[in-house]
Structure 1
């Protein structure tokens, strides 16, 4: 089936482009919609621009499209964005794992930086815990593909995701939304705003998301893969004078969903070590308590200095706390149980100076981050009769100055130049020790006892700096179409391995170096009568690549965070929308990615040397083909507008880790969805029916690989949601 789905997606996208010439003869006037590449406004270059004028690969999904496709959280971006992986982390409910064009971060441990930057209203979110943002009170989401080292800085080597919330209305508003669906899903949302004066408004939103589990912990009887989330946001907007605006915002999310222990993929030895019939079931024995809290405050001040210059200040503070447990062996016995806690906080300050003259536009800025991340976890190894306690912290200070300028060389030819200099200072503390007894270590409140063997104990500091340039040349072929060529570089900071074992890998005390991605891209975007599209081809060179792995070793588990070497990516993307008739439109996205390691250095535990094993590894989360095709029919029904959107998304074979594993790696699959949304003539009532994964496809989104007798062959898979159907009702007052 998957071969036919891929063929249909590619043929559909190609037909969309080729059919334009025929359809153009009787093309109707084109409306401004979130699927129109030429009309939607984005802030990819930190200023408002039409999407077609931005020489960057950007997917922009507006609120209308997100609603019509039934998107519930930002992991929905994976289906509609070419060459993107946006998933819930293995063993988690709200930790985000993102890859763009094969570059990202699977390891959410404190101190290890993401490769795709996440921004909420221009505020950088440094840690992935609690970053699976539910979609509510949102204006649009932008996905910037390729390194964004100039405008967005460190840790955007793969790209960036921008979550843009809705601004407050000048008029009183109240919206109530309720939904009920499969597995006793109950979603409740209320949002609104109130003007207290002509220049002062307050507003907010609160959302509750409840759902029974897709499966069950067959050992404890608890729900597995359930959802219990409460989220809220309040904001204030004030214009003390015509040339000045101030926006204050606070948000908080609490996730008390049960931990996800995964599904045992092969049978082990002993009670509860079999393979459960349902991929959502487990026999985990460590417990079912999990708690995640994230909150933040931001203040954005904008001042129009004169007709050419605008000053903006973005001040933000965030913190997060996570207490969780993961049963890696998925059995009642404590063969490989991991209780853990994470905590982080960050303070960021950004100053921007935007300017716009007749033939020159751009932004200059300064960015500062002061971050702290800490945590501890136990590796309870019951078959060894010990627990390996690991704890530590990382303090980060980062300074950066940047500029990005667009020069109109002629009315049609534009040159964009950008540069950023970043200086990072990191101090890491790592402690790792063996304790006798397969119970919690003193690091997590276990019985006080002296270490049996101290494996790692050090504090070290390191400075990292990087200059990241960008240059793009674009040409307006006509008023509706732009071609461009660009070069950009991204930089991801170095650091210290919080799991590092100084006995097995002595070099861990030296930390690891930054990684960089150099990208060359050619693109064409704009509109042709009924067709709005964006197409690009690119080549990425990935150097000093940071890779995290854990492998069984004598006396425990060895952790590696190494600069393994380099890899090369070649790819192409084509996305857009086509108006087939007055009532029928299509949205499509196709991505192609060819990736290959050129060098992969791995420390040989037995020989104590580094070896190049590039012929044995592949890039993780880098499927060769990704695709999306959705059709939307709109028509007048019962006095209102009905929108029906069937869609199919495709994801090719991909590996969960750099080392292929036929048991854990995911074969190609397709997801079929259907959304039906009716809105009354006054836009007051909206009724929706959303079917997701209608063919009930079983597909892995993560895995753990701890093969071997010591860990009872713990090969664990984590799965995406099964078939669900949800009905919703929204009322505006």
Structure 2
């Protein structure tokens, strides 16, 4: 069915392009003749351009503050990425945006395990849990998407993306402590218009998009858009003889606009996206020695398995991750179904506008994974399918006056997530995880299965508002307030069965050396029902001053929070071998944020330069910790004492004429743990016998087999994972009027690229998971005219070898797995619009 839909869309798009070609002269162009790429403040395409005079530069309209205004007039750090920039640079979903916005970090091993951070803040790195809130809010046409996994859709008929940096709790329905990504799609029109786009490339890349909009009557307009993306995988699995980590996406969006008068509009929207990729797996990267006994580390364990099975001779297909080979043997699946419906009502009431947004969204996640990262049958199955329903209602009133503007809103949110987890040990598990005679008895662990049943119920309500008062024509003060209530209720149950199907119990603790003790050392049964609620009050104040007509300076202080969390994936055990219920809940984060900035345009607005500096301090930072107990939980959520992120960001764009445009964005981010004394230890300080709980012993040196291991590590002063100190993006385009095959237009050449310095890919920074910095460069060249654009492109033009993500395999054996970033890709795109 999926292939049939895709083939139909490709055919329809191709036929549309062929039909459109001879009639292109009648089209009204919607393709702006400017450089594609990411721009900083004031450089995206206007939602409704107020000034198209190129000699005065672009006037960019954004809705970041819940009203239409120019980006240069917004006193906060914001990057605007145009819809055509997203398309021309191949950044077709949220996970690709960091190539265009330097302060944005997105990491994904599969759609479910995706995190989005801004300035290094947002969610704790390396933990998948539904029990905490996102620090970066993702909004599509004013609708909040609660889980990042539910927002990994392909961009579909997008007008522009706004990335807001810093707390936004007094402007947006759901509290966001690190920032927000505000996605605006193209809306129904009362003039008939349409577009078709077809892209083909190497790796069997195919992408087709089509959209059509127009009136159904004098008061009703409709718009429908559809897109399909497919691409061969980038890693070859020698076990299954097929490529993995492919792309296989279908998306559909429909909108109906009812506008009975100029003062009232009602928009009904519905969307559906399906991702059905054979994904997601890793390749062998390296072995890093841990403190485990040498005979219990990766190379020795592989040798022992081979010795126990003459003729097996297992070895990974390559120890060079850039050979793009793997031998993982568990089935893979990354089925992701996302959709929903919303109703948005806008009613102009005198000097203000009343807005109501009612929305329902769902997410259905159907995964299969290989959690031992190898071709050995250690973990033979690891699957955690989830289903989410969320409902939200927001009422908002915007008032605009001569001296006073304000927005006030009421937001309600309800969510339920159900998960049915399964993890099963394989035939090699005993040899891998046990010692002595037990290691030679595969029946002890083979087939040992943990079935996890869990749900989360989350309710939230908020009253928020922000005012803007002009003390003078140049000086404005903007205070904001938020009152928030959250309630979370969870359930977690793990039932463990042997390979024979017998349910086991680990209470009281079984006698050491027995098969049951070995089984309980891998999976322990547990049942918990965490529940908590919390009121929070936060505020911010912004003062901005217009030094000159095109120069704005501002300063912001925000006292924000991220609400409480609950542990949904199991709890550590007490000395009585029962769950430690005191770890059920996690305190809210307390955020103090300071920011100053300047926004400027000069040379008759042909040049834009914006600069911001920020300092964010978070107490009770929600982070991953461990309890020093192997068989219970690998990690759980707790509070680090203090985290700080500070830095400087700069955005520059220049457009000396309509023949040339260039931009450059740069960010310096120093994000670190100020104090985190009970952190999980990195692999080089793990795997050995734990030091005595009474503190009478000292842990051994890092990476030395057989050393004593600390129960936890103090990583105060170390950098936060996932964030580079330096990040940079740039782009330029040169065009020249030309006549090609009798068609008037422009021939153009464009370049864009990005650089990021090294960063660490583990929750506690490790010497084994340091990702080296890299720079990527992309080129495109084409010809465009009135209503059409044809261009060729090459991405990662210099075939740079780089790492997307590194992962530490479970068990402290020293195995590090990961995924290499995309190699050089190339192709061509044809677009028509009318």
TM-score by length of 2: 0.78
Say if 1:330 and 1:160 are closer, same or farther in 2 by CA, change over 3 A.
same
1:345 aligns with 2:389: yes
Deviations 1:253-283, CA, capped at 9 Å, x for gaps: 1000012111122364252545454544321
Matching of residues 212-231 of structure 1 within 5 Å = 212-231=232-251
1:302 aligns with 2:320: no
Instruction: State the alpha-carbon separation in 2 of the partners of residues 202 and 247 from structure 1.
Output: 9
Instruction: State the alpha-carbon separation in 1 of the partners of residues 765 and 385 from structure 2.
Output: 30
- For residue 394 of structure 1, the aligned residue among 448, 452, 456 is 456
- For residue 629 of structure 1, the aligned residue among 722, 730, 753 is 730
Indicate if the aligned counterparts of 1:177 and 1:729 stay in contact, CA closer than 8 A: yes
Partner of 1:78: 98
Using the TM superposition, give the Cα deviation of residue 623 of structure 1 relative to its aligned residue in structure 2, in angstroms.
Answer: 0.9
Say if 1:440 and 1:197 are closer, same or farther in 2 by CA, change over 3 A.
farther
- Partner secondary structure for residue 201 of structure 1: strand
Deviates more, 1:346-355 or 1:509-518: 509-518
Instruction: State the alpha-carbon separation in 1 of the partners of residues 542 and 198 from structure 2.
Output: 46
Instruction: State the alpha-carbon separation in 1 of the partners of residues 821 and 595 from structure 2.
Output: 32
Deviations 1:472-506, CA, capped at 9 Å, x for gaps: 00001111110000112332222222222342672
Indicate if the aligned counterparts of 1:586 and 1:631 stay in contact, CA closer than 8 A: yes
Instruction: State the alpha-carbon separation in 2 of the partners of residues 273 and 63 from structure 1.
Output: 43
Instruction: State the alpha-carbon separation in 2 of the partners of residues 42 and 562 from structure 1.
Output: 37
Instruction: State the alpha-carbon separation in 1 of the partners of residues 752 and 485 from structure 2.
Output: 45
Deviations 1:89-135, CA, capped at 9 Å, x for gaps: 11x15764211011022434333322211000110000122422323
Instruction: State the alpha-carbon separation in 2 of the partners of residues 703 and 508 from structure 1.
Output: 32
- Partner secondary structure for residue 286 of structure 2: coil
1:125 aligns with 2:145: yes
- Partner secondary structure for residue 85 of structure 2: helix
Using the TM superposition, give the Cα deviation of residue 167 of structure 1 relative to its aligned residue in structure 2, in angstroms.
Answer: 1.2
What is the aligned length? Answer: 690
- Partner secondary structure for residue 420 of structure 2: strand
Indicate if the aligned counterparts of 1:455 and 1:502 stay in contact, CA closer than 8 A: no
Partner of 2:602: 528
Matching of residues 256-271 of structure 1 within 5 Å = 256-266=276-286, 268=298, 269=302, 271=314
Partner of 2:664: 588
1:100 aligns with 2:118: yes
1:647 aligns with 2:748: no
Partner of 2:705: none
Instruction: State the alpha-carbon separation in 1 of the partners of residues 502 and 565 from structure 2.
Output: 28
Matching of residues 618-697 of structure 1 within 5 Å = 618-638=719-739, 639-680=744-785, 682-683=786-787, 685-697=788-800
RMSD: 2.7
- For residue 465 of structure 2, the aligned residue among 403, 406, 419 is 403
Indicate if the aligned counterparts of 2:348 and 2:354 stay in contact, CA closer than 8 A: yes
Using the TM superposition, give the Cα deviation of residue 210 of structure 1 relative to its aligned residue in structure 2, in angstroms.
Answer: 1.1
Using the TM superposition, give the Cα deviation of residue 550 of structure 1 relative to its aligned residue in structure 2, in angstroms.
Answer: 6.3
Instruction: State the alpha-carbon separation in 1 of the partners of residues 85 and 631 from structure 2.
Output: 53
1:359 aligns with 2:403: yes
Partner of 2:533: 463
CA radius of gyration, larger in: 2
Say if 1:692 and 1:574 are closer, same or farther in 2 by CA, change over 3 A.
same
Say if 1:295 and 1:272 are closer, same or farther in 2 by CA, change over 3 A.
farther
Indicate if the aligned counterparts of 1:314 and 1:349 stay in contact, CA closer than 8 A: yes
Deviates more, 1:375-384 or 1:243-252: 375-384
- Partner secondary structure for residue 66 of structure 1: helix
Using the TM superposition, give the Cα deviation of residue 458 of structure 1 relative to its aligned residue in structure 2, in angstroms.
Answer: 1.7
Instruction: State the alpha-carbon separation in 1 of the partners of residues 420 and 167 from structure 2.
Output: 32
Partner of 2:422: 378
Indicate if the aligned counterparts of 1:96 and 1:131 stay in contact, CA closer than 8 A: no
Deviations 1:502-547, CA, capped at 9 Å, x for gaps: 4267256532111132210000003011311221011110111111
Instruction: State the alpha-carbon separation in 1 of the partners of residues 761 and 713 from structure 2.
Output: 21
Instruction: State the alpha-carbon separation in 2 of the partners of residues 317 and 518 from structure 1.
Output: 33
- Partner secondary structure for residue 151 of structure 2: coil
Partner of 1:326: 369
Say if 1:658 and 1:289 are closer, same or farther in 2 by CA, change over 3 A.
closer
Deviations 1:210-254, CA, capped at 9 Å, x for gaps: 111112221112321211111110000110222100001001110
Partner of 1:145: 165
- For residue 156 of structure 1, the aligned residue among 172, 176, 185 is 176
Indicate if the aligned counterparts of 2:238 and 2:317 stay in contact, CA closer than 8 A: no
Say if 1:456 and 1:509 are closer, same or farther in 2 by CA, change over 3 A.
farther
Partner of 1:114: 134
Using the TM superposition, give the Cα deviation of residue 717 of structure 1 relative to its aligned residue in structure 2, in angstroms.
Answer: 1.1
Partner of 1:10: none
Indicate if the aligned counterparts of 1:93 and 1:259 stay in contact, CA closer than 8 A: no
Using the TM superposition, give the Cα deviation of residue 691 of structure 1 relative to its aligned residue in structure 2, in angstroms.
Answer: 1.4
- For residue 286 of structure 1, the aligned residue among 305, 317, 330 is 330
Instruction: State the alpha-carbon separation in 1 of the partners of residues 767 and 502 from structure 2.
Output: 34
Say if 1:154 and 1:246 are closer, same or farther in 2 by CA, change over 3 A.
closer
Matching of residues 355-504 of structure 1 within 5 Å = 355-382=399-426, 383-384=429-430, 385=445, 386-437=448-499, 454-503=524-573
- Partner secondary structure for residue 350 of structure 1: strand
Deviations 1:187-208, CA, capped at 9 Å, x for gaps: 1111101311122111111111
- Partner secondary structure for residue 497 of structure 2: strand
Partner of 2:263: 243
Instruction: State the alpha-carbon separation in 2 of the partners of residues 95 and 130 from structure 1.
Output: 11
Say if 1:113 and 1:263 are closer, same or farther in 2 by CA, change over 3 A.
farther
Instruction: State the alpha-carbon separation in 2 of the partners of residues 550 and 706 from structure 1.
Output: 16
- Partner secondary structure for residue 535 of structure 2: strand
Matching of residues 540-551 of structure 1 within 5 Å = 540-548=616-624
Instruction: State the alpha-carbon separation in 1 of the partners of residues 237 and 171 from structure 2.
Output: 46
Deviates more, 1:335-344 or 1:291-300: 335-344
Partner of 2:677: 601
Deviates more, 1:511-520 or 1:570-579: 511-520
Say if 1:238 and 1:29 are closer, same or farther in 2 by CA, change over 3 A.
closer
Indicate if the aligned counterparts of 1:137 and 1:205 stay in contact, CA closer than 8 A: yes
Using the TM superposition, give the Cα deviation of residue 393 of structure 1 relative to its aligned residue in structure 2, in angstroms.
Answer: 1.1
Instruction: State the alpha-carbon separation in 1 of the partners of residues 481 and 285 from structure 2.
Output: 48
Partner of 2:592: 518
Matching of residues 712-727 of structure 1 within 5 Å = 712-727=813-828
- Structure 2 residue runs of 5 or longer lacking an equivalent are 1-39, 41-51, 288-297, 306-313, 431-444, 505-518, 681-689, 695-710
Deviates more, 1:695-704 or 1:320-329: 695-704
Say if 1:359 and 1:608 are closer, same or farther in 2 by CA, change over 3 A.
farther
Instruction: State the alpha-carbon separation in 1 of the partners of residues 479 and 198 from structure 2.
Output: 47
Using the TM superposition, give the Cα deviation of residue 155 of structure 1 relative to its aligned residue in structure 2, in angstroms.
Answer: 4.8
Deviations 1:319-369, CA, capped at 9 Å, x for gaps: 111111221222233323422201111000000011011110111010000
Instruction: State the alpha-carbon separation in 2 of the partners of residues 274 and 552 from structure 1.
Output: 34
Partner of 1:313: 356
Say if 1:555 and 1:274 are closer, same or farther in 2 by CA, change over 3 A.
farther
1:204 aligns with 2:224: yes
- Partner secondary structure for residue 75 of structure 1: helix
Instruction: State the alpha-carbon separation in 2 of the partners of residues 607 and 396 from structure 1.
Output: 40
- Partner secondary structure for residue 453 of structure 2: strand
Instruction: State the alpha-carbon separation in 1 of the partners of residues 453 and 315 from structure 2.
Output: 30
Q: Which structure carries more strand by proportion?
A: 1
Using the TM superposition, give the Cα deviation of residue 611 of structure 1 relative to its aligned residue in structure 2, in angstroms.
Answer: 6.5
Partner of 1:447: none
Say if 1:29 and 1:127 are closer, same or farther in 2 by CA, change over 3 A.
closer
Using the TM superposition, give the Cα deviation of residue 612 of structure 1 relative to its aligned residue in structure 2, in angstroms.
Answer: 6.9
Instruction: State the alpha-carbon separation in 2 of the partners of residues 439 and 338 from structure 1.
Output: 18
Deviates more, 1:202-211 or 1:131-140: 131-140
